[in-house]
Structure 1
Amino acid sequence: MIRILLAEDDMSMREYLKRALERTGYAVDTADSGISALPLLEKNTYDLLLTDIVMPGMDGIELAQEAAKIASDMRVMFITGFAAVALKNNKTPPNAKVLSKPFHLRDLVLEVDRMFEVGDASGL
């Protein structure tokens, strides 16, 4: 089973995305910040880091950079309402994707499926 770590500071968005991904068969752990995601990355193995870019403390780009030190083969997808931020200083990992808000849950699941070449999100 594909394991995802979702880092999102907005509680309602975090729960909404977690439920959608779990309904389509992904195992999802959540963190409410980049800082709280780090211990999870150190303890567990994840296939995907799904993170908001704009978060207090440690932003999603910094989190992805730290995650790459822990698990260099883990894939990264950023979700953000500020897509241009993701491109600043070319600091995003080369294998990262960016999904701009607003998006439909089906779009999120399709992008995750594409990353792992699985299933279809027609049930959403």
Structure 2
Amino acid sequence: MARILITEDEDSLRTFVARALRLDGHETSEAADGEEGLALLCEEPFDLLLSDIRMPVMDGIELAHRASSNFPDLKILLMTGYAEQRERADDLASKIIDVVPKPFALTDIRAAVASALAG
């Protein structure tokens, strides 16, 4: 299965998503913000970056730009609960797979991740 980095500043959501993806057989690592996520990306290889857009320190948009520049084969899937944040991701269209709207059901995020990894 895949190695997935989850960057999300909300602890309970990050834990929920990580647990769900581990049930699907994936190995997960977690970061509370984009800066921490970028540091983890530089330490070890990942198949997928699953990141919230709106986070402190470094947001998911900046993280996606840096990650795609440094790791061009990395698949990137963003998530957000804010419509205006989704629009900010438009300039990333060639770098990300999709933006998953929050709130989402467990089945929705699992399906989005499976689709991103298959694509």
Q: Is TM-score (shorter-chain normalized) higher than 0.5?
A: yes
Structure 2 residue aligned with 1:122: none
Structure 1 runs of 4+ with >4 Å offset? none
> Structure 1 or 2: larger helix share?
2
Task: Output the aligned Cα RMSD.
Answer: 1.6
The 5 A counterparts of 1:88-103 are: 88=88, 90-94=90-94, 95-103=96-104
Structure 2 residue aligned with 1:114: 115
Percent pairwise identity: 37
Structure 1 residue aligned with 2:83: 83
Q: Which structure has the larger Rg over C-alpha atoms?
A: 1
> Do structure 1's residue 25 and structure 2's residue 28 form an aligned pair?
no
Q: Is the 8 A contact 1:61 1:86 kept in 2?
A: no
Structure 1 residue aligned with 2:44: 44
The TM-score with structure 2 as length reference comes to: 0.91
Residue 89 (structure 1) shift = 7.1
Q: Residue type matched to 1:9 in 2?
A: D
**Whose relative contact order is higher, 1 or 2, with alpha carbons under 8 Å and at least 6 apart?**
2
Q: Is the 8 A contact 2:79 2:100 kept in 1?
A: yes
The TM-score with structure 1 as length reference comes to: 0.88
> Do structure 1's residue 104 and structure 2's residue 105 form an aligned pair?
yes
Q: Is the 8 A contact 2:97 2:116 kept in 1?
A: no
Q: Residue type matched to 2:37 in 1?
A: A
Partner of 1:15: helix, strand, or coil? helix
C-alpha change, 1:27 and 1:89, in structure 2 (3 Å) is closer
Return 5+ residue gaps in structure 2 as ranges: none
Return 5+ residue gaps in structure 1 as ranges: 119-124
